[in-house]
Each structure stands twice: as structure tokens, then as C-alpha cells.
Chains A and B, each alone.
Chain A
Amino acid sequence: MTVDPIHQFQINNLVPIITIGGHQIAFTNSAMFMLIIVVGVTALLVAATAPRAVVPGRLQSIAEVSYEFVANTVRSSAGEEGMKFFPFVFTLFMFVLAANLIGLIPYSFTVTSQLIVTASLALLVFFIVVFYGFWRNGLHFLNLFVPKGVPVYILPAIVVIEVLSFVSRPVSHSVRLFANMLAGHITLQVFAGFIIMLAGFGVVGWFGAALPLLLVIMLTALEFLVAFLQAYVFAILTCIYLNDAIHPGH
């Protein structure tokens, strides 16, 4: 018996809605999980902040810890002025974290393992940086691409390189999260498949199957770490990019 490791990423139409120009727009399992994430995070935070106790309970502690964690991240990498973007960064962080963690539940769908989702998030950050940068600094925002103290004769090449490195940001921003989640889930699935294959070989196979089982347990622990780490990395890079929009070329 073989297990298809890619099958878990398949998008299924649950409820077809309308057809526009030959493309069916449907409510897919991906959309359903995004809805679950948004509703779940909102419900968690609303329930957690409802008591407003001085001494926080368990739920309230979760809300307070996540607030402080994201607030510290924003303050340390985008400065006090970056707190303007706190709601945005907090939403992104909670969405990505919840998506990564919910994806670890067996039979669930990992929204962040779809490149289109992470790319949309990264492009959202990118365009916010560009528009806010121009709105706040005007054409001074372009100073971001012109480092000072560079001889005039190599300046054009440097400007092109700086622009390219700026444009490549959403690519690395989105691919990092997507590739981590995709690779982690495929690895888990492949090793879980080994267990089933080995167990099919009788008594010897049962002992052999213990090895991939052990590995799957360890990989699951690693995946929890990766889920948290990638949400954090996504949030901190958002802050770093927003910092460029707030203070271009310091």
C-alpha cells in the first residue's frame, strides 16, 4: 500500500458558487480552513479578553503573552512609530501561526502550504510598504535605493541591484513560509508511509516500523517548532520591511 504524499495539498471544491469566464469560483477546503482560522482566532481572543481580570486566567494569559510578544517584536525592529502597524502585524502573526498549527492536526488542510496564500500575504506587506513609504516620505522614499558614499560611476549598477533586492523581498518572504510548511508535511507523510509499508512485512516489519514511527514522533515535535518559528520569522520580516517604509535610509 502506498500513500501519496502530495494528496494532502489537493484543493477540493466544497460548494460551487458562480462561474466567471469559464473559471469556477467555489468555496474550497482551503477557503473553509481560512474561515476556521479567522473565526477561531477571533473567538479565542474575544473570549480571552472578555474577563479583563487583573490576575489573568489561562485564556487571558494566552492573549497577553501573544500581545506582548508581537508588541516587543514590532518595537524592537520598527521602532515606537511602527506600533501604528501593530494591528496589521498581529493579525498576520496570528493568522500564520494558527494556520501552521491547525495544519498539524491529522486530516486537516494546511493553508500556508499553498504558495498563492503566502504570496498574497507577502504582496500585501510589499504594497503596504511601497504605498506607505511614498505617502509618508514622498520621493525621499527613493533614497532607499541610493546608498550614500558610493562613487558616481558605479551608482547606476548599485541602484539597479538595490531595486532588484527590494523587489525580491516578497518572493523570499512568501517562498520561505510556503516551502517550510510544504517540505515539513511531505516529510511527515513519507515517513508515515514507511511505517505502513514496513508493517506489511510481518513480524520483522513490525520491529522495522518502530524506527520510522520514532522518527515521525520527533518530526512532529520539530514541525511544532517550525510552525511557531515561521510565523515569528514572517512577522519579524514584516516589521523590518515596514521599518524601511517608516525610516528610508535613516
Chain B
Amino acid sequence: MNDGTRDNGDRSKARTDEAALSARLQRLGEGLGQARGRAGPPSDGPGVDRAATASGYARGFRLSSELVAGVLVGAGLGWLIDRLLGTSPWGLIVLLLLGFAAGVLTVMRSAGVIPENRQG
């Protein structure tokens, strides 16, 4: 009998504990949100700045390697065509220029200057 009531009490206590915990979590979350809002981008400058430079570095490297890859592949294919068909130097010239165009296209596409999704 005594045990039963105690058990009940424990259970209800656990329930209120849980409710209190979730309320507290919510309060904390709100407080955190407010603190983040107050801190804003300008005041936590260093962290944001570092993240921005890091991603900027990655972005820059990505774009430059794409441009170079386009030119290299164009030149390589042109040289190969010249070798196979004996059209030297026209294949190299034309495909190098086209490769350059392809590099610029890739860079513009991944930089988001022109939309990624093409209407096929």
C-alpha cells in the first residue's frame, strides 16, 4: 500500500521533472537564440571572419582548379586529335579555345553566375 503510493508519487514526480526539464530546455533555447541574435554577426567577428576566409579559400581554389582543368583538357584533347588525324596545329588551337570557354562556363556555373539547372 505504502509502496504503491510511493511508486505513484515517484511516477508523477518523474513526469513533473520531465515537464520541468523540457520547459527549462525551451527557456534555454530561447535564451540562446536571443543571445545569438544580440551578439549578431558584427560582434562575433573573428569566428565568422575565420569561417568566411576558410570557405572563401576553398571556393577560390575550387574555381581556379576548374578553370585550369577546362583549359588542360581542351589542350590535351586537341593534341590527341592532332596526333591521330595529323591536323596539327588546328585541333590544338580550336580545342584549346573551346577548352578555355568550357573552363569559364564551369567556373560561372559553380560560382552561381548562371543557373545550374539547364532546361534539357
Contacts and interface: CB of A to CB of B under 8 A. Distances in A.
Interface in B102-120: 102-103, 105-106, 109, 117-120
Nearest to B72: A171
Nearest to A143: B120
Contacts of A168: 66, 69-70, 72-74, 99, 102-103, 106
Interface in A202-250: 225, 229-230, 233, 248-250
> Which of B54, B70, B95, B117 neighbours the largest number of chain A CB atoms within 10 Å of its CB?
B70
B61 to A, nearest CB: 6
Contact of A249 (B61, B73, B119): B119
A165 B118 contact: no
Nearest to A167: B73
Interface residues of B, number: 27
Per DSSP, chain B at the interface is helix
Contacts of B84: none
Contacts of A167: 73, 77
A115 interface: no
A176 B99 contact: no
Interface in A149-190: 149, 157, 160-162, 164-165, 167-169, 171-172, 175-176, 179-180
Nearest to B106: A165
B80 to A, nearest CB: 12
A56 interface: no
B65 interface: yes
Contact of B102 (A143, A161, A176, A249): A161
A250 B73 contact: no
Size band of the interface chain A makes with B = 20 to 34
Contacts, number: 84
B37 to A, nearest CB: 24
Contacts of A147: 118-120
B69 A149 contact: no
Nearest to B59: A233
B73 A229 contact: no
Contact of B66 (A157, A161, A172, A230): A172
Contacts of A63: none
Contact of A172 (B65, B74, B118): B65
Contacts of B85: none
B77 A161 contact: no
A162 B98 CA distance: 9
Contacts of A146: 120
Contacts of A229: 54-55, 58
B93 interface: no
A175 B54 CA distance: 19
> Which of A143, A164, A167 neighbours the largest number of chain B CB atoms within 10 Å of its CB?
A164
Interface of A: 140, 143-144, 146-149, 157, 160-162, 164-165, 167-169, 171-172, 175-176, 179-180, 225, 229-230, 233, 248-250
Ordered nearest first, which 7 A-B pairs have the shortest CB separation?
A249-B120, A143-B120, A172-B69, A164-B102, A165-B102, A148-B119, A171-B69
Interface of B: 54-55, 58, 61-62, 65-66, 68-70, 72-74, 77, 95, 98-99, 101-103, 105-106, 109, 117-120
